Amino acid sequence: MNSAKRPESATDAAGKFPTYQQDSGWNAMLPRRDARPATNISRFGTIVIGGGYTGLAAARRIAELRPEEQVLVLEASVIGEGSSGRNSGFVINLPHNTKMGGHTSPVEVARKQIRMYDAGLKWLAELVRAHGIDCKWNPVGKFHAAASEAGVQNLRASLAQYREWGVDYEECDRDALQHKLGTRYYQYGFHSSNNVFVQPAALIRGLADSLPPNVVVVENEAVLSLSESRPFQVTTSRGAYTSDRVILANNGFAKALGILNDRLITIFTYAALTPRLPESELAKMGDAPEWGVIPANRLGTTLRRVQGGRFMVRSAYSYEQEQSPADTLAQLTESFRRRFPDLKSHRFEYVWGGTTALTRNGATYFGELRPGLFASLGCNGAGVLKGSTYGKLLGEMAMGAQSACLSDALSLEGPSWLPPEPFRRIGVVSSIRYQAARAGLER
């Protein structure tokens, strides 16, 4: 540990990083992993704030380009237990938002993102292969499914975009979906190959444990403050560090450091995993050992049949604060029961929440905030591949490298302005309630 003064109270770290009421189910299924300890080194070439997909990708790329420099990654929790290990494990290499881009057409915006994500997916797949990361990597695609007429219209609009982009898909009626998924809940859907399933906690842990030797990872060390200019002074819950450059990769919690307060909001969403189901129950869920469903409404329910015989349900949103575990359990159980009423049990072994950062227009902030301070913030719920891709590109940008993908990333529109509190809370909570009502059967 370095010799800087400790903060007077642990409450200084409140709001600087997510705190969760329940452990991540993905992480709980893995062997126990010891957190990386504090370091005695206080001076680094680069400090990365946030040990998720974005931060680890940036740290890896900088370390590769500057092998003579040391890079510090500061993670406020334990890698695998943070937000990156709490998502649904879909690695989707298609755009989530093509309406940004200034005067650029949506089709061109989509093509830029597809180029970026294809390159990012190849890079991520090579890391998994080269380092033998056992994250259950499975490139079997994903379904989109609708239970309501409004949902069907949403999916047909998505397919119109797929045709513009040149993306292949297979449409499915109710009977086809029942055969593939084991439920008649959905009336229409389609399947596309643009997805890889992973065990997200295993992936993020594997990425952290395979970093180049000049990367120092420290866990359970929250960043409390960041100086305005370089050399940057980064104060943490254990001490202080100095660096020539800083990479901000802590998503919505950059707000706690005074960054993009008028651009980012933090949203909690919720998921649950069943115990391993008996073969007789799995037989009621189609004939594929793994599949996943993306809902036709953003506030709908995501499903995933997981390798090894478990089933995952993800649904519900709350603003800035985690809802009660009892409410989460009730909501997820009801969503599960409505889709598979014939199962003998709808019990979950693990139930948890996770955070994501949203922006008003769905755009990510990507670039240099001020000299030496680089950031990729506001993943908008697409963190695994988008975070890895943007993190890699941000690392290259910080080192002065240039590429077509980096130019594409820099050409996209940034996040739009958000009103201050309490108007922001009123607007976001009202929007969540409205969208939840509109989701209807998709919830």
The pLDDT tens digits for 209-235 are 999 999 999 999 999 999 999 999 999
Q: List 197's β-bridge partners, or say none.
A: 90, 138
Q: How far apart are CA 249 and CA 256, in angstroms?
A: 13
Confidence of residue 382 (pLDDT cuts 50, 70, 90): confident
CA atoms within 13 A on the CB side of 167: 26
Alpha helices, DSSP H only, in 235-305? 279-282
Between these two residues, 411 and 381, which has the higher pLDDT value? 411
Amino acid in the structure at residue 426: I
| CATH code assigned at 73 | 3.50.50.60
Q: Is 130 inside any structural domain?
A: no
- Cis upstream peptide for 422 (omega within 30°): yes
Q: Which pLDDT score is estimated for 17?
A: 83
Residues 430 and 374 in one domain: no
Does the pLDDT at position 24 exceed 90?
yes
Residues 276 and 318 in one domain: yes
Both structure tokens of 381: 């719920």
Both structure tokens of 163: 């045709």
The pLDDT tens digits for 343-365 are 999 999 999 999 999 999 999 99
Both structure tokens of 135: 């994250």
Contacts of 176 (CB under 8 A, 6+ apart): none
Q: Is 396 inside any structural domain?
A: yes
| CATH code assigned at 166 | 3.30.9.10
Q: Is 150 inside any structural domain?
A: yes
Q: Look up the domain containing 222 and give its range.
A: 10-89+201-263+361-412
Residues 301 and 407 in one domain: no
Question: How many domains does the chain divide into?
Answer: 2
Residues 314 and 376 in one domain: no
CB neighbour class for 31 (10 Å; exposed up to 12, middle 13-18, buried from 19): exposed
Q: Is 391 inside any structural domain?
A: yes
Q: How far apart are CA 131 and CA 138, in angstroms?
A: 16
Pair 124, 91: CB distance under 8 Å:
yes
Residues 438 and 400 in one domain: no
Q: Is 121 inside any structural domain?
A: no
The pLDDT tens digits for 148-196 are 999 999 999 999 999 999 999 999 999 999 999 999 999 999 999 999 9
Residues 373 and 340 in one domain: no
Residues 343 and 214 in one domain: no
Backbone angles phi, psi at 224, to 5 degrees: -100, -35
Q: In degrees, to the nearest 5, what angle opens at C-alpha 290 toward C-alphas 352 and 140?
A: 115
Pairing of strands 310-319, 350-358: unpaired
Q: Is 15 inside any structural domain?
A: yes
Residues 439 and 403 in one domain: no
Q: Which pLDDT score is estimated for 435?
A: 87
Both structure tokens of 318: 């709350």
